Amino acid sequence: MNSSVLAGAATAPAKLAMPVTTDSLLQRPNEHCSFVIFGASGDLTRRKLIPALYNLACAGLLPEGFHVYGFAVTPMDDEGFREAMGQAIRESHEATSFDARVWNQFAKGLHYITADFLSPEGYQQLLQRLTTAEQASNAPANRLFYLATQPSFYADIVERLGSSGLANKTPNGPNWSRCIIEKPFGHDLPSASALNTSIHEVFLEDQIYRIDHYLGKENVQNIMAFRFANSIIEPIWNRRYVDHIQITAAETLGVEHRGGYYEEAGALRDMFQNHLLQLLAIVCMEPPVRYQGSSVRDRKADVLRAMVPINPESLADIAVRGQYGPGIVEERNVIGYRQEPNVRPNSNTETFVALKLMVDNWRWADVPFYLRSGKRMPAKVTEIVIQFKRVPHLFFQLGQDDQMEPNLLTMRIAPDEGIALRFSAKVPGPEMHLRPVQMNFNYADAFNVKPATAYETLLLDAMIGDSTLFNRADQVEAAWGVLEPLIDIWAASKPFQPFPNYASGTWGPPAADALIARDGRSWRNYSVTSATHPVRHATAHVEHTGEPIGARRNRGDSGTKRE
């Protein structure tokens, strides 16, 4: 895998989305390859794939003679494709600043084929163009195929890649073929299993790269570094010291133009089967034998297999679904889900889910994992919160206003990637008063760079042949297996409360608060204002999370206030 993995080491080389330097940890592929995008006229190509490839070009990390072949039904020629992608780069928030010199060189390698995904003629045209270019440059037929289409086309495209001679069963070495497949991979467990069987008829498992862009995020990768590269962390990463773990993925956006897709998917399929269960697996996994594809993915699969099956009889105690109604987000009025384009006016599709899950193994027995994800929330945030158990005995003679908060470790995936640790400290003065304080590590400040986008990392890994950050067939099926009972029950029943059951701009339905409150716990709701006041140091910088000391003295009382 090709990213910086040292947590908190400010002197470590960092991944750059700019001209590459000699101390970059990114590895440039040493083999020629052609990159074929099926669905090249779509939103994913314009917003994510081409900007990521352009960033790699700016960093000098694309292989020699790199070419991109777009394949889609939308009529376009090579020049039209280049113009459209150039405009996408100029409008992108993720692309490096537009550099005409780099773009002109990169654009020469952009090509386009107008064809139907089911038409054999289009595949023959693609084969001819690839073969001609490879022979002209005396390059091997190394081909990386990216399926950025509707999932219903995946099996058909792969079958035609095999029957046309475009792909072979060679994962490495000269003339290799590899295939990147976007989520969702299947609609449920039977469809995911059937899709795996179909794809395995053309590609070996080592050639298949099931992409989950969350796994390319820097701080997701940093979870393993933080756990396994620091001797003070791993000994307390277990049921003896951890009270519970929360994983939140909240969005301020609604479904926007994806109403048709979301009506079929919903939050459970869109976020939990892939993103959130992958985060849980990384948090819970045992140490791998080595940092490489099979070893890491073996340990993640173990976690998914150890998940306690969802009991339909206790569903109300462990699962909550919701749908947003009209409300206020970021100081503007927004419509409800049922008013979104391509959404049924009486839709019961969930836009919010909260789950309580358990992992039945030696390390995590009896530790609850609370997962939630929703749209139209007050803040856009993805974070993992590990709350540790309280001290067994507190011998301080504290005042009535003193508050002892449990230790809290927060791993921020987005925004403001970093890690924060909350602990108790004595307030300066002659008396013993305790106050929660927070120590922060911030990626941007520690390494003085903007982390590479997830797609940059993942596309480069696929070119090199590193599958560490991609999902394997058994992982995908195990994740579907965890959620299968819930999918079936929710599909066959109406929600307990009529939808919509939470207003846009709130943290979900009241039932989600009740789910965690029944265990004597509460959600950690990200403060919108905290995002505007980031801590500026990655080393031992401590910020007070309670009331300012001066305010306490001015009141003439003692103790501290709760965060």
Please give the positions annotated as active site.
275
Enumerate the β-bridge partners of residue 442.
Answer: 418
What is the token pair recorded at 256? Answer: 């926007």
Q: Beta strand pairing status for 67-72 and 110-114?
A: parallel
Residues 371 and 354: beta-carbon distance below 8 Å: yes
Rounded to 5, what percent of the chain is helix, strand, coil? 35, 20, 45
Strand order in the sheet with 418-426: 319-322, 352-358, 368-374, 242-250, 381-388, 408-414, 418-426, 434-442, 542-544
**Helix (H/G/I), strand (E/B), else coil: 383:** strand
What is the C-alpha to C-alpha distance for residues 379 and 54, in angstroms, rounded to an integer? Answer: 30
**CA 350/CA 499 separation, integer angstroms:** 9
Write 257-262 long-range contacts (CB < 8 A, 24+): 257/341, 259/340, 259/341, 259/342, 259/343, 260/342, 262/343, 262/349, 262/351
Q: Please state, in angstroms and rounded to a whole number, the distance separating the CA atoms of residues 4 and 447.
A: 10
Q: What DSSP character marks residue 165?
A: T
* Token pair recorded at residue 306: 């150890």
Among left, alpha and beta (phi > 0; psi -120 to 50; other), residue 308 is: beta
Which residue shows structure tokens 């693609």? 126
Preceding omega of 415 cis (within 30 degrees of 0): yes
The amino acid that residue 28 corresponds to is: R
| Alpha carbon distances (Å) from 189 to 203, 351, 354, 437, 461 | 20, 21, 21, 45, 27
SS (H, E, C) 125-146: HHHHHHHHHHHHCCCCCCEEEE
Cα 102 to Cα 33, 125, 356, distances in angstroms: 19, 28, 49
Alpha carbons within 13 A on the beta-carbon side of 197: 6
CB 52 within 8 A of CB 94: yes
Task: Locate 152 and state its tokens.
Answer: 């219903």
List of E strands, 120-268: 143-147, 177-181, 208-210, 242-250
With vertex at residue 156, the alpha carbon angle to CA 153 and CA 158, rounded to the nearest 5 degrees, is: 105
Which H or E run includes 70?
strand 67-72
User: In whole angstroms, what is the distance from residue 356 CA to residue 322 CA?
Assistant: 15
